[in-house]
Structure 1
Amino acid sequence: MDRDFSIREIGPDEFERAWPIFREVLARGESYNYAADLNLDGARAMWTSPPYRMFLAEADGGEALGCYKLGPNQRGRGDHVANASYMVAEAAWGQGVGTALCEHSLTQARKAGFLAMQFNYVVSTNAAAVHLWSKHGFAIVGRVPEAFRHPTLGLVDIYVMHRML
């Protein structure tokens, strides 16, 4: 890791700190099925409205490096399984931010009483994410053929990944 950073929970009032990371990820179009025209208010609602909680990784100087949201994968009888989504600023790639966010989210999910965590939509060509989740005990439990329109590769598969907590 090249620099020190911390991870803390943020609310809707601080979402703008993560918005540049969202814009970067949306512009690349390689890992999320969000609409390209998703705006700040829409993203804020998706990531900070209950039952979701949002966490921000920030450098000691205050620079936003990455973020994640955590909440139930499903409501009702499926709410014991967590779901999380992660984004890391491109400038922070390779510095341990994604690993730290994953480990932090697993701890937060356990503290919240979740029994497992499931990722419903991991783009198969996102090798860094697939490698990171696998390293942290997630297994590919499903594959959906050609479910994502990659901007340069065309139709690619997505994975469902899962692990017990």
Structure 2
Amino acid sequence: MADPQHLVAPTYAIREAHDDDWPQIWSIIRDVITEQQTIAYDPGMSEHDAKQMWLLPAPARVVVAADGHRVAGTANMYANRPGPGSHIASGTLMVAEQARGTGVGRALTTDMIDWARRDGFAAIQFNAVVETNTAAVRLYESLGFVTLGTAPGAFRHPTRGAVGLRIMWLDL
């Protein structure tokens, strides 16, 4: 008989991040930036610096995708720029390796879209989507994002060399 856990994808609750989530959030961030495949962050970033960068104060928002007590992904979202650019949202999301392909990225991105609409943003702009991160590109496109342009060779991929960074946009 088939294992029922393999028949149904886990259900992830998206909720505000709590202080006690940090160890799991840090584990995800550390793994993703060390891979150097999908995020243009310094792979040598310290935990202290990561915490300062990720846990942004309000009005920004930091969430986790949790399956029970296990954090499977995290996102932060904020105004893309201050002042005259503050009507456009942006954000970053990261998914734990073992949770990729299970709907965590979609759940986090959908939550970000809902948040941006609720808070009155006109659009969402992702500033640096690595073009070889095809899972993310396909996900964002399936949710209505378009590529405005690509900065060629702007990301040093560890195995593919210099690849482009896409600027992706969603009108709200």
Q: TM-score range by the shorter chain?
A: over 0.9
Question: Does 42-51 or 71-80 show the bigger shift?
Answer: 42-51
User: How far apart are the structure 2 equivalents of 1:162 and 1:4?
Assistant: 27
Once the two structures are superposed, the pairs formed by residues 86-97 of structure 1 within 5 Å of their partners are 86-97=93-104
- 1:36 and 2:43 equivalent? yes
* Counterparts of residues 1-165 of structure 1 (less than 5 Å): 2-11=9-18, 14-50=21-57, 51-60=59-68, 62-165=69-172
Gaps of 5+ in 2: 1-7
CA distances 1:133-154 after superposition (whole Å, capped 9, x unpaired) = 0001100001111000000000
Identity of aligned residues (%): 38
- List 4+ stretches of structure 1 deviating above 3 A: 11-14
TM-score (norm 1): 0.94
Contact (CA 8 Å) 1:47, 1:53: kept in 2 or not? no
1:70-126, CA deviations, whole angstroms, 9 ceiling, x for partnerless residues? 001111100000001010111011111111111111001111221100000001100
Deviations 1:45-79 (A, max 9, x none): 1111234321001112x111001000011111000
Total equivalences in the alignment = 164
Partners of 2:22 and 2:77 in 1: CA distance: 15
- Equivalent residues of 2:21, 2:71 under 8 A apart: no
TM-score (structure 2 length as normaliser):
0.90
1:13 CA drift (Å): 5.8
Structure showing greater Rg: 2
Q: Which runs of 5+ in 1 are unaligned?
A: none
